[in-house]
Amino acid sequence: MALALLVALGALSGGLTCEKEVTGKPVVVVTIFPLADFVKNVAGDRVDVATLLPSGASPHTYEPTPGDVRDVAGAMLLVVSGAGLDFWVEDLKSAASDSLAVLNTSAALAEEGLLLSGDEHEGEEDDHGGVNPHYWLDPVLAQKQVEAIAAALAAADPDNADFYEDNAAGYIDQLRSLDEEIASETRSFTSREFITFHPAWTYFAQRYGLVEAAVIEESPGKEPSVEYIMHVVDVAREHHVKAVFAEPQFSAKAAEAIAADSGARVLLLDPMGGEGLEGRDSYLALMRYNVDQMAEAMA
């Protein structure tokens, strides 16, 4: 949708409805659920958090709504994952005031040289320079995102800076435990290669010594050719892959076809989680859910 139209609709529906409860607290707008959970763990009840991407949607194919324009316009801070994942937020940013504070969580990771390359992952609209944007699925890199969030909150709301820093330290301890837990569980996997729907698990695989043997869709939303699917089946057979992972945000058809032809099992990995999704409604729960899914076929 054209930006001008989005803004106009945003203003119009803003006058007609009042969908958000007004608490008087500063609002932090985030693009994806895992970042919302990070902000909630750092900011507690000192802010209201609004997540732009709805539960069950994919950031790779999302189109912003007029409500998103309103959310961003009223925010104290906008937290973006970055590296092209939430490319659609650029339009929303340009509709907001120049004084809006924006945190791009990929910046700290890029500075430390921790970003991995990706191949045409986001399709035509991205400008992320070939970086794989799924770093939050590595609990060690997630700690750096949480540190960046705490610093951005402290800068935007200095009166509560100590509160944010203390909470961040406590939450980072939990992320460290999660990392140790996943490292110990994955260490004993007897099968170490897997096939995923899209390259969401590259950072995770690198962290825990696993191998993303093939991906079904390099660029989510672009259907693979029959030849490519046959190639993935060959990889699955040659590498004795036991797990082909589908994702709740996309159709499982291709994964099912590959598994049927290679003798692997189809299981569900969820890179996003979301509010109201049982067992996947916090980052910690989401990651434990995903490791359990992997263990089903690979342990």
Stretch that binds Zn ion, among 31-39, 110-118, 199-207, 246-254 (CB under 5 A): 199-207
Among positions 20-79, residues that touch Zn ion (CB under 5 A) are none
HSE of 25 in the Cβ direction (CA atoms, 13 Å)?
15
Torsion angles phi and psi, residue 98, rounded to 5: -65, -20
Q: How far is the CB of 29 from Zn ion (least distance, A)?
A: 20
Number of residues that bind Zn ion (CB under 5 A): 1
Which of 43, 79, 200, 210 is in the footprint of Zn ion by CB under 5 A?
Answer: 200
The minimum distance between CB 154 and Zn ion, in angstroms, equals: 30
User: Which residue in this structure is represented by tokens 């709805």?
Assistant: 54
**Shortest distance in whole angstroms from residue 83 CB to Zn ion:** 11
By the 8 A CB rule, do 3 and 94 touch? yes
Rank residues 153 and 200 by Cβ distance to Zn ion and give the closer one.
200
- Residue closer to Zn ion by CB (options 164, 283) is 283
* Minimum separation from the CB atom of position 200 to Zn ion (A): 5
User: Is 83 among the residues that bind Zn ion (CB under 5 A)?
Assistant: no
Tokens of 259: 């598994």
Question: Which residues in the chain belong to E strands, given as ranges?
Answer: 27-30, 48-51, 77-80, 101-104, 193-196, 211-215, 243-246, 265-268
Please compute, for residue 283, the number of CA atoms within 13 A of its CA located in the half-sphere on the CB side.
26
The binding site for Zn ion (CB under 5 A) comprises 200
